[in-house]
A and B are shown apart, each in its own frame.
Chain A
Amino acid sequence: MKTRTQGDTLVITDFTELNTTNATWLQDLVRQSLVHAHKIIELDLSKVKFLDSNGISALISIHKTMCKRGGRIRLSGPTPAVSQILQLLSLNEVFEIINP
């Protein structure tokens, strides 16, 4: 996983799965990288082929963190497999999703 700051957005890229094995890792990465100026966390999901319920838990946890700070989470370019799961769990209305 890589992070970069783009204006008020913390962008996290370069990961192919979000599951039990790296969900905690993602949350740690967010904790370490997040600074006051960040209003949005954008996760680049264009390479993510596999998302399980523990990955979803991490997304919800980050979403809650950002809400408390008055910010939000944004998911960009989810693959069909990931879109299906987000829809199934009715999370496509909770998260901001952009399809470039």
Chain B
Amino acid sequence: MTDVVTPHTNQIGAQFLSLVFACDLRESREVSRCVRQFLAAVPLPEDDLHAWELMVTEAANNAAEYVAEEGRQLSNRLEVFCRDHEIEVRLTDHTPGFDMPAQAELPSIDSEKGRGLFLIQSLADEVEYLRGRAENCMVIRKKRPAPVAGTRAAAEPVVDLGSRFIGDEQTLQAMTEELASCYESLSAIFRFTSALNRPQPTEEFTATWMRELLAIVEADWYVLRLADPGGKELRISATSLPGSLDYSLSLSPDVSLANSVELRAAQSRQDVWFDANAPLAMSDPLSHVVRHSNGLAHPIFSEESLVGVLAIGRLSSDAPFKASQASVIQTFADFLGIQISNARFRAEHLQAQLTARELQIASNLQRSLLPEKLPQMPGLGVAGYYHSARQVGGDFYDAIAADGQGLLLVIADVMGKGVPAAMFATIFRSHLHARLDLVKRPGEFLTWLNRSLFSDLDRMEMFITAQLVYVDPVARRFQVAGAGHCPLLMTSAGGTPVEVGNTGFPLGIMPDTRYSEEVRDLPPGARLLLYTDGVTDTQNASDEMLGAERLKQNLQQIINRCGNTAQTVQDMAVMLQAFQGKELAADDQAFLVLASE
């Protein structure tokens, strides 16, 4: 394996493993062993460990076995997410991809092939296959068994982060690029969800959002057909193409489906791709308007019934949609399906589906924001913790190595929950990474962030509290600046924790706020704790809050007991969970610990 990032320390109760490996059958077994070993520490019972070992082997075997020549040189990537109730594995491959059946059939006894997918689908609770032309992603989910009373999931932390500091710059670069490219999609999805809650004429709504979609995924054309209320035919709803497309396509099973990609998508309930290798048939009416094109026809369902089919494509045949773009198309189309169903039926249960989808997006977004690994520098240890509440919120932390010498610690809390909060956390993060030249002047950095984010935040009537700390390990000093955020706690060897940092206005309140900074010494043995108010607001069964004083007392005990940051984070998490008891956290909890050696 070329690269391993594991086990991730940021989230206790949501551990993470990432593996990058060559596209080779021999690697599959190594990878599945590695996953088993990682999951054994979660812990999972033997049956589940075996199931995951087998599913990962089969998925990785398929990725290696069906890869085309041009994909053979590319690495495959496997990620494991451990959540409270389920394990999720994502395998990104570079095969030409395949149409995954809802349930693979068991091959006949004479067949020596084709059992891998059947096994995966039989052992998993949920399997998805996100298709692109450059890469695909298989997502496998399986519920975790209910914990036996009296035991807790071991939250083994942790790793010597220093030794895991692999290819950081490359990862950061990739993350920044990904974030930049998905920013537009995310904003659009956000606006999309807001618009969904307003009654609008469906046609106008559709045309507006389809134009947005074309821009985001760099497509040239689309044709949206909707099923008539009786489900007998597909009728044109909106299109970007000129020409005569306002014919209907019969959904009757008697009519041959072979010619129309739209009908094939409707019938098979799966995406149908077309390109130079699999061109639109001459007898497909669509081919008369877009003869040479590549793209896909995506069937739109709501509550299992066909709402319509979206055909979308590019006129050049050399740049097919990537998996991420295909995923955006699918997301948009599925949202649209919900909107159309709402307009038609106004059924309450569809609203519930929408909320669940929104929460899923917010949760995915939130997860993508936290750093995969934290930079470690000689003489400094850093570790972080994030625990999400029932509803996804906008807590965020990061640690950024600056010019090979100093370190910028960031903690922030976006007011609100769900997609809007996660969205603003995304925007905050991308702004932060855009001006790393300002790391040494956290006050000025906050002033700039406030100025840049003000109009967006103000319009949405939202705000962000944030704290930036620049640590200079050589000069043994740190500078702290806060925007409405709770002061950090600093402990020196033998001393009691003290609060450091002024609060000031949150970002998004006043356009011209200037943030000042405070400089402090950082003696050997000192510890800094940056946290969000979800930590001090943690409530126990008697509705008492943890509060700043109790946090200080606990922090001091924890620090007196042990040395390294990973252990401190672990003990803090255990302390919070013990205080909370069986109560569910009302707010996100996030904190960062820095240790000066």
Contact = CB atoms under 8 A, between A and B. Distances in A.
A joins B in a complex: yes
A21 B122 CA distance: 23
Interface centre among A19, A49, A64 (most CB of B within 10 A): A19
Interface string A52-65: 11101100110010
A94 B106 CA distance: 14
Given A57-B112, A61-B112, A85-B119, A52 B106 contact: no
A90 B61 contact: no
Contact of B54 (A21, A57, A85, A94): A85
A88 B122 contact: yes
Nearest to A56: B115
Contacts of B116: 52-53
A54 B62 CA distance: 11
A25 interface: no
B174 interface: no
B113 interface: yes
Contacts of A46: none
Contacts of A88: 119, 122-123
A89 B115 contact: yes
Interface size class of B (residues with CB under 8 A): 20 to 34
Interface of A is mostly: helix
Nearest to A93: B109
Given A50-B53, A52-B57, A52-B58, A90 B106 contact: yes
A5 interface: no
B579 interface: no
Contacts of B29: 19-21
A41 B577 CA distance: 57
A64 B110 contact: yes
A81 interface: yes
A60 B112 contact: yes
Interface centre among B29, B110, B116, B122 (most CB of A within 10 A): B29
Contact of B119 (A20, A49, A89): A89
Contacts of B109: 60, 91, 94
B61 A54 contact: yes
Interface residues of A, number: 21
B57 A19 contact: yes
Interface string A66-91: 00000000000000010011001111
Given A85-B119, A89-B118, A89-B119, A52 B61 contact: yes
B28 interface: yes
B356 interface: no
Contacts of A50: 50, 53-54
A81 B45 CA distance: 12
B319 interface: no
Interface centre among A52, A90, A94 (most CB of B within 10 A): A52
Nearest to B111: A60
A50 B272 CA distance: 36
Interface string B115-135: 110110011000000000000
B26 interface: yes
Contacts of B46: 81
Contacts of A60: 109-112
B25 interface: yes
Contacts of B110: 60, 64
B32 to A, nearest CB: 8
Contacts of B106: 89-90
Given A20-B28, A57-B112, A89-B118, A81 B61 contact: no
14 contacts: A20-B25, A20-B57, A50-B50, A50-B53, A50-B54, A52-B116, A53-B58, A53-B116, A53-B119, A60-B111, A84-B50, A85-B54, A89-B115, A89-B118
Given A52-B116, A57-B112, A85-B119, 19 more contacts: A19-B29, A19-B57, A20-B57, A21-B29, A50-B54, A52-B57, A52-B58, A52-B61, A53-B58, A53-B116, A56-B115, A60-B109, A60-B112, A61-B112, A84-B50, A85-B54, A88-B122, A88-B123, A89-B115
10 A-B pairs with least C-beta separation: A53-B115, A57-B112, A53-B116, A81-B50, A52-B57, A20-B25, A60-B112, A88-B122, A94-B109, A61-B112
